[in-house]
Homo-oligomer: A and B are copies of this chain.
Amino acid sequence: MSAARAAREIKEGRLTSEALVQACLRRIREREPQIGAWAYYDAESALRQARALDRMAPGLRGPLHGIPVGVKDVLDTADMPTTYNSPIYQGHRPAWDAACVAATRHAGGIALGKTMATEFANNHPAPTRNPRDLQRSPGGSSSGSAAAVADFMVPLAIGTQTGGSIIRPAAFCGVVGYKPTFGAINRAGLKAVAESVDTIGVIARSVEDAALFVHAVSGRRLPDFDDQPPPPRIGFCRSPYWEHADEATRNLLETSASRLARAGAKVRDFTLPPEVAGLYTEQDAIVYFETARALAYEFHRFPGKISAALSGRLEQGWRYSCEDYDAAQHHAEAARIMLAAQMEGYDILLTPSAHGEAPRWRQPIGDSLFNKNWTLLGLPCVTIPCGTGPSRLPLGVQIVGPRHADARTLRYAHWVWQRLG
C-alpha cells in the first residue's frame, strides 16, 4: 500500500498505524534474512509508537501520521544506534535525532529502523541484496533504503545523495527516487561527506509518496497530482556519457522520448554545453576534497578501520589543492547560471538514471556518471521505474527540473510515469 493511501486510510479511520506497522514487520521478518536491508530495527518500539499515534486526537495529526519510514544509517537517531556502516561506530548512540528524522516524527511518521548504507555513504558496498535478484546489488549508497522500499518492507525510506546515491539504487530496485533541490531538507545530524553537495531525499514506490514525504519534512508545497498539467516541454539529454549506457538503456530512453512526444510532450534534444559537461571531473575534485576533510578524525585516528576503497578515495581527496577546489567551485557556480538560462525553454529534462541494470552483489557500486553533475548543480531529480534490461531487471528514466521548481518537476515526473510506468 502506498504511503499516501495509507495516510488517507488512517486519517479516515479505516486503517490503524499499528496494523500498518505490523504488516511491515511481518514482511521484514519474512524477507530480511535474504535481503539484509536493515542495520537496525526495533519492532516493539515501532509498535509502541504506532499505538500512541493511533490514540492521538485528529486535530494534532501531521501529514505522515502513523506511516513507518526507514532511515538511512548515516542519519543520527537518539533512540537507535547509528553506525554509518563503519566498524569505528559499532553501537554508537547519537545524542539527537537528525533534523529530518525529528521532522519525520513531528509530522507523525514512525522511524521504523535504520537502513543499510555503504560505509560513510561512500564506495565500499553494503551487504544488502537486490530484492529483484538476490545475486545482484541494490546499488548504493542508499542500499537498504532502496531494497526495503522495493521489497514492500516499508513504504518510504530516507536516502542521501552526493553522487548518485538515491537515484541509482532506486532505479536498480525498480522504485521511485527523489533527490530534491540542494538544501530543501535540512542536514543537521547527517554524517557529512561533501558539505557543498550532500542532499537528503527519499525512496518511495510512487511519485506521490515521494512528494508527500518531502512536503511533510520540509514544508515545501505538495503538488496537486489530480490537476493534470499540460504536456511538458522536454529536453532529451543523452549526456556526454551516452555511450557508457548499455544498449537496453539507450533504447529505453529513445523509446520513452518517442512515446512522450506521441502523448503530446514537446520533445527536443538537449545538449549540455562543454562547461557543464566538464563538471563530471570537477565534481570529483569537490567531493573528494571535502570528504577527506570531513572524515579527518576517522582518517587520522582509525586508519585501520577504514576500507581500502574508501582510504583510496580519502587519499585522492588530500591530493587536490585548495586552488583546484576553489576553481572547481567557481566552475560549478558558473555552470549553474549557464544551465539555468539554457533550461528556460524546457519544463524538464529526460536522461538516463543509471548505465543499465543493477551490478552483481558486493561489486563496486559503480560511478555515478548519470547523476553526479545534477547533484553538484543542485537540481531536483526523480527516477521513475520503466522497463527492464537484458536480465529482466528494472531500468529507470530520470527527470531533472530547474532548481527550486520541485513541485512542478514532481507533477511532470508523475505525468511521465503515467505514460511510461
- Residues on A lying within 8 angstroms of B by beta carbon are 78, 89, 92, 94-99, 101-103, 105-106, 183, 186-189, 191-192, 195-196, 218-221, 290, 293-298, 300-301, 321-322, 326, 329-330, 337, 404
B189 touches A195 (CB 8 A): no
Known: A98-B297, A188-B296, A219-B322. 4 other contacts (CB 8 A): A94-B95, A99-B293, A183-B196, A337-B337
B297 touches A78 (CB 8 A): yes
A89 touches B95 (CB 8 A): yes
User: Hey, which chain B residues are within 8 Å of A98, CB to CB?
Assistant: 297
Q: Specify which of B78, B219, B297 is in contact with A102 (CB 8 Å cutoff).
A: B297
Name the residue of chain B whose CB is nearest to the CB of A404: B326
Name the residue of chain B whose CB is nearest to the CB of A181: B326
User: Hey, which chain B residues are within 8 Å of A404, CB to CB?
Assistant: 326, 330
User: Hey, which chain B residues are within 8 Å of A106, CB to CB?
Assistant: 296, 300
User: Hey, which chain B residues are within 8 Å of A189, CB to CB?
Assistant: 297
Q: Specify which of B97, B295, B301 is in contact with A188 (CB 8 Å cutoff).
A: B295
In the complex the two chains form, what is the Cα distance from A200 to B105 in whole Å?
A: 31
With known contacts A186-B290, A293-B103, A293-B188, A96–B195 Cβ distance under 8 A: no
User: Hey, which chain B residues are within 8 Å of A326, CB to CB?
Assistant: 404
User: Hey, which chain B residues are within 8 Å of A103, CB to CB?
Assistant: 293, 296
With known contacts A183-B195, A196-B183, A322-B221, A294–B99 Cβ distance under 8 A: yes
Name the residue of chain B whose CB is nearest to the CB of A97: B297
**Most-contacted residue by chain B among A99, A187, A220, A294 (CB, 10 A):** A99
In the complex the two chains form, what is the Cα distance from A99 to B301 in whole Å?
A: 12
In the complex the two chains form, what is the Cα distance from A196 to B191 in whole Å?
A: 16
With known contacts A220-B322, A322-B220, A96–B186 Cβ distance under 8 A: no
In the complex the two chains form, what is the Cα distance from A372 to B147 in whole Å?
A: 44
User: Hey, which chain B residues are within 8 Å of A92, CB to CB?
Assistant: 95
Q: Specify which of B95, B102, B294, B330 is in contact with A186 (CB 8 Å cutoff).
A: B294
In the complex the two chains form, what is the Cα distance from A312 to B281 in whole Å?
A: 45
- The 29 listed contacts between A and B (C-beta, < 8 Å) are A89-B95, A92-B95, A94-B95, A96-B298, A97-B296, A97-B297, A97-B301, A99-B293, A99-B296, A99-B297, A101-B297, A102-B296, A103-B293, A105-B300, A106-B296, A106-B300, A183-B196, A183-B329, A186-B195, A186-B293, A186-B294, A188-B191, A188-B192, A188-B195, A188-B295, A218-B322, A221-B322, A326-B404, A330-B404
User: Hey, which chain B residues are within 8 Å of A94, CB to CB?
Assistant: 95
User: Hey, which chain B residues are within 8 Å of A192, CB to CB?
Assistant: 187-188
In the complex the two chains form, what is the Cα distance from A112 to B206 in whole Å?
A: 52
B322 touches A96 (CB 8 A): no
Closest 3 CB pairs of A and B: A186-B293, A188-B294, A102-B297
Q: How far is the CB of A107 from chain B (nearest CB, A)?
A: 11
In the complex the two chains form, what is the Cα distance from A295 to B290 in whole Å?
A: 24
**Most-contacted residue by chain B among A94, A98, A187, A293 (CB, 10 A):** A293
